[in-house]
Amino acid sequence: MTWYVPIIRTALTRRHVFWHSSALHRSQDFVTDLQASALDICTLQVLDCSALPLLSDRSDVDADCISDLPGDLLILLDFHRLLEIRRGRAWMRQLRPAVLERVQGGTAVLVTSDLPRRSYPAIDGSSIATDCYAAALPNDHARTILNDLPRDEHMTWVINNARHTVAVSSELLKFNYDNATGGERRRAAAQARQTALQSTITQCGAELLGWIEDTFLFRRQRSMAAVDVTDDIVATLTASGLAHVDPRDDSLQLFPDVNQSDAEISIVAAQEAMLEAPPEWLAVAAALFQLEKTARQALSRHLELHPDAKSAALAQFASKITRNYSDDTGLKATDVSVVPLPWNWVDMSDVLRLLAESADGSRVAGVTAATWKRMAEDVVPLRNRIQHMRLPRPGDLDLVQRYRRQILRS
C-alpha cells in the first residue's frame, strides 16, 4: 500500500526530515509500505537503527558502511531505538557525521521514530532528529487512499471505522470480514482504534498524557485556540495524529474523527498501563525534593537569626510538629523542644506561608513575600499531584527549577 507517498515526497524536497511515525501512522507492513510508496518516485535504502552496522569490536558504528549505502533516500528506521540501548547515545553522535555527509552529497534522509521529537536529548547526535524539517502525514490521506480502492461491503466498513488513520485502516483491511459476525466486526474495529490511540498517547510521553488527561478527560475540552497551547504541545499532538489545527479558525482539535468513548477508554488504558515511574515524573519529583529542602533550609536559617520569630512559629505549630513526629517515628514527644529538625514535620504549605510572613516588608533568603506566596500557589498543588502518583504536565519541571534558582541566586 502506498500510505506514505506524502512523507517520501517531503523527504526528497526537504532533504533531511524527521517524522514521528506514531502508532496511528504505522501500518501492519510498515517497511514494505514505505518501499511501495517510494517505488515510482526514488530508490531508497532502509537502515534499521536496532541493527546498525558495527565495527568488529561492536562498540562503535561503522560509519564507512553507512556512507557506501546506495539510494536516493536513506531511511533511518526506528531512530528511537537508540534511546533504549546502553550505547545508543554514543551511536547517535557517531551517526551524525555520516548522515550529514550523505545529505551534503545529495542523498535525502528520512528519520522515522515512534517517539516525538521532544523525546530526544540535547546532545550532538540528537541533531539528526532535531535539526531538520518535521514532516507530517496529511490528516485525510488514509481515507484518500481507501477511496481509490474498489468499493465493496468490506471496504465501506473499513472506511467507516478507520477514522482516517493508517494503522486502523491497514489492520481492518486484513480482518476476515466475510466470516465474522456483526458483533465480532464491531469489537475488532473498536479494539483496533483504541489500541492505536492508546499506543500513540503512551508514545507522546507522560507529560503529554498528563496534559491530555487534564484537558480532555477532566475538563472535557476537545477544541481550543491553538495560540493558547504551547508550540511544543501543538507540534507533538499534530505530528502524532492525536490532534490537528483547523485552518478555518486556527483551533486545535483533539482526537479528530474519534468518538468520545474510544478516546476516553484509550486515555484511561494508557494511564492504567503506566506501572513504572516515567522519567518525566522522576525528574519533577527530584526537582520538588530539591526545592522543598532548599525552602525548609531557608526557613530554619532565617528563624535561627530571629529568636523571637522562631519562638512564635514553634508555638504556633507545636501541636502539629509533635503529632507528626510521634505518628511517623512511634516516639512520644511531649514538647516541641525535644523534636529534632522541627520544620521537617510541617507541611510544605506551612513552610511557604511562614516564609512569606517572615519576608513581609523585607526578604527571606533574598526572596520577597510576593514570590514566596506565588511559589505556594504554583508549587503546592503540583507537589500534591506528584505525591499522589499523578503525572506531570509540560512546563512543570521548568516551573520548579525556576523557583529553586531564585532562592539559590540570592
61-112 pLDDT per residue, tens: 888 888 888 889 999 999 999 998 888 888 998 888 889 888 999 999 999 9
> Same domain, yes or no, for 96 and 186?
no
Query: What pLDDT does 64 receive?
Result: 84
> Same domain, yes or no, for 93 and 149?
no
Domain boundary among 223, 255, 273: 273
> Same domain, yes or no, for 218 and 130?
no
> Same domain, yes or no, for 156 and 268?
yes
Nearest to 293 by CA among 360, 358, 361, 383: 383
> Same domain, yes or no, for 176 and 201?
yes
> Same domain, yes or no, for 289 and 257?
no
In sequence order, what are the residues at sequence separation of 6 or more whose Cβ sits closer than 8 angstroms to the Cβ of residue 316?
Answer: none
CA-CA distance, 271 to 203, in Å (whole number)?
Answer: 12
Query: What pLDDT does 185 receive?
Result: 96
| 41: pLDDT strictly greater than 80 | yes
> Same domain, yes or no, for 50 and 104?
yes
Domain boundary among 135, 152, 173: 135
Residue 68 belongs to domain with CATH number:
3.40.50.300
Domain boundary among 78, 109, 135: 135
> Same domain, yes or no, for 129 and 15?
yes
Higher-pLDDT residue of 139, 36: 36
> Same domain, yes or no, for 116 and 145?
no
pLDDT tens, residue by residue, 238-251: 999 999 999 999 99
Find the domain containing 376 and state its range: 279-409
Query: What pLDDT does 164 receive?
Result: 82
Q: Among 64-73, 141-150, 328-337, 369-378, which range has the highest average pLDDT?
A: 369-378
Does this model's pTM top 0.95? My answer is no
> Same domain, yes or no, for 182 and 128?
no
> Same domain, yes or no, for 325 and 236?
no
What total of structural domains would you count in the chain?
A: 3
> Same domain, yes or no, for 68 and 124?
yes
Where residue 125 falls among pLDDT bands split at 50, 70, 90?
A: low
Alpha carbon separation from 163 to 122, 157, 193, 235, 257 (Å, rounded):
35, 11, 8, 21, 6
In sequence order, what are the residues at sequence separation of 6 or more whose Cβ sits closer than 8 angstroms to the Cβ of residue 123?
Answer: 89, 92, 93
| 221: pLDDT strictly greater than 80 | yes
**Mean pLDDT throughout 383-407?**
95
Higher-pLDDT residue of 362, 238: 238
**Mean pLDDT throughout 186-213?**
96
Query: What pLDDT does 28 receive?
Result: 94
3-state secondary structure 286-342: HHHHHHHHHHHHHHHHHHHHCHHHHHHHHHHHHHHHHHHHHHHHCCCCCCHHHCCCH
Where residue 305 falls among pLDDT bands split at 50, 70, 90?
A: very high
| 300: pLDDT strictly greater than 80 | yes
| 135: pLDDT strictly greater than 90 | yes
CA-CA distance, 297 to 131, in Å (whole number)?
Answer: 42
Q: Are 394 and 303 contacting, i.e. CB atoms less than 8 angstroms apart?
A: no
Query: What pLDDT does 236 receive?
Result: 96
Query: What pLDDT does 143 receive?
Result: 87
Q: Are 4 and 33 contacting, i.e. CB atoms less than 8 angstroms apart?
A: yes
How much is the mean pLDDT over the chain? 93
Query: What pLDDT does 325 receive?
Result: 93
| 60: pLDDT strictly greater than 70 | yes
